[in-house]
Amino acid sequence: MRASSSDGLEALLSAVDACGADPESPAWRDLARVVATAAGADPAVARLWPSHASVGQPAEVALRRELAEELHALASRDTATRQALTEWLHLHPGPARTARGPAATANLIGGGSVLHGPSVQARDVHGGIHFHPPSPAPRPCLPVPRQLPPVTARFIDREADRRALDTLRAQWPAHTPQVVVVSGLAGVGKTSFATHWLHEHADSFPDGQLYADLSGQTADGDNGPVSPATVLEAFLVALGASSVPAGTTQRSALWRSTTSGLRLAVLLDSAFTAAQVRPLLLGTPTGLTVVTSRTNLTGLRVDGASVHRLEGLPAESAVELLAVGGGTRVAREPSAAREVVRLCGRLPLAVALASARLALRPHYSVSALADSLSRGRGAVETLHVDGEAVMRTALDTSYGLLPDESRALYRRMGLLPADRHDLSLLTALTGDGEGMGDIGPVSDVAVHALVEANLVEETGPDTYRFHDLVRPHARRLGEELEDPGRRERTLRRFVDWCLSTAASAERILTPSHPLPGHNLAAGTVPPTPLDSPEEALAWLDTHRNGLMGAVRNSARLGWHSSCWRLADLMWPLFLRLRPSQMWVEAHRLGLEAARRSGSRQGEGRMLTSGAIGLRNAGRYSEAADWYRQALEIATADDDVRQQAQAVSGLGHLSFLARRLDEARDHFEHALRLRESIGYRRGAALSRRRLGETALAGGDLATAAEHLRRAGTELDSLGETYEATRVLALLGHVLDRGEDPDGGGRRLREALARFRTGDIRSEHWEARCLEWLGQAAESRGDHAESNCYYEAARDLFRRLSLEDAQRLDDRLRRS
Report DSSP letters for 510-535, one per residue. Answer: -TT-SPTT-PPPTTPPPPPP--SHHH
Task: Identify whether the C-beta of residue 315 lies closer than 8 Å to the C-beta of residue 346.
Answer: yes
Does position 252 have pLDDT exceeding 60, yes or no? yes
Question: What's the pLDDT score for residue 638?
Answer: 94
Confidence band for 118, pLDDT divided at 50, 70 and 90: low
Average pLDDT, rounded, for the chain:
85
Kindly report the pTM of this predicted structure: 0.69
Amino acid at 687: R
Confidence band for 51, pLDDT divided at 50, 70 and 90: low
Question: What's the pLDDT score for residue 283?
Answer: 87
CATH superfamily membership of 534-638: Tetratricopeptide repeat domain (1.25.40.10)
Greatest mean pLDDT range, 35-39, 174-178, 613-617:
613-617
Does position 756 have pLDDT exceeding 70, yes or no? yes
Does position 488 have pLDDT exceeding 70, yes or no? yes
Which strand ranges, in their side-by-side order, compose the sheet holding 288-293? 209-213, 265-269, 288-293, 178-183, 306-309
Confidence band for 99, pLDDT divided at 50, 70 and 90: very low
Greatest mean pLDDT range, 232-241, 697-706, 777-786:
697-706
Question: What's the pLDDT score for residue 133?
Answer: 59
Partners of 422 in the β-ladder: 463
What count of Cα atoms within 13 Å lies in the side-chain half-sphere of residue 636? 9
User: How far is residue 605's CA from residue 599's CA, in Å, rounded to a whole number?
Assistant: 10
Does position 189 have pLDDT exceeding 80, yes or no? yes
Confidence band for 89, pLDDT divided at 50, 70 and 90: confident
Sequence-distant (≥ 6) Cβ neighbours of residue 693 within 8 angstroms: 655, 660, 663, 664, 667
- Cα dihedral across residues 596, 602, 608, 614: positive or negative: negative
pLDDT tens-digit series, residues 704-754 = 999 999 999 999 998 899 999 999 999 999 999 989 999 999 999 999 999
Confidence band for 223, pLDDT divided at 50, 70 and 90: low
CATH superfamily membership of 159-309: P-loop containing nucleotide triphosphate hydrolases (3.40.50.300)
Taking residues 252-269, report their average pLDDT.
92
pLDDT tens-digit series, residues 318-332 = 999 999 999 999 999
Query: Which of residues 63 and 349 earns the better pLDDT score?
Result: 349
Sequence-distant (≥ 6) Cβ neighbours of residue 691 within 8 angstroms: 702, 703, 704, 705, 706, 707, 710, 726, 729, 730, 733
Report CA-CA distances (Å) from 545 to 494, 562, 576: 13, 17, 16
Question: What's the pLDDT score for residue 26?
Answer: 77
pLDDT tens-digit series, residues 125-176 = 555 555 555 555 555 566 889 999 988 767 888 999 999 999 988 888 888 8
Question: What's the pLDDT score for residue 767?
Answer: 94
Taking residues 432-445, report their average pLDDT.
52
Confidence band for 263, pLDDT divided at 50, 70 and 90: very high
Does position 440 have pLDDT exceeding 80, yes or no? no
Amino acid at 325: G
Question: What's the pLDDT score for residue 97?
Answer: 43
The pLDDT > 90 percentage for the chain reads 53
Helices (H), 390-483: 390-400, 404-415, 423-429, 444-452, 470-481
Confidence band for 642, pLDDT divided at 50, 70 and 90: very high
Question: What's the pLDDT score for residue 738?
Answer: 84
Report CA-CA distances (Å) from 258 to 88, 261, 404: 13, 9, 41
- Rounded to 5 degrees, φ, ψ at 471 are -55, -45
User: How far is residue 663's CA from residue 703's CA, in Å, rounded to a whole number?
Assistant: 14
The domain segmentation of the chain, as residue ranges, is 6-91, 159-309, 315-392, 402-504, 534-638, 761-814
User: How far is residue 591's CA from residue 756's CA, in Å, rounded to a whole number?
Assistant: 33
Taking residues 537-545, report their average pLDDT.
93
> Tell me, what DSSP letter sits at residue 265?
E
Question: What's the pLDDT score for residue 24?
Answer: 74
Confidence band for 59, pLDDT divided at 50, 70 and 90: low
Amino acid at 441: P
Does position 766 have pLDDT exceeding 50, yes or no? yes
Question: What's the pLDDT score for residue 121?
Answer: 55
Taking residues 780-798, report their average pLDDT.
91
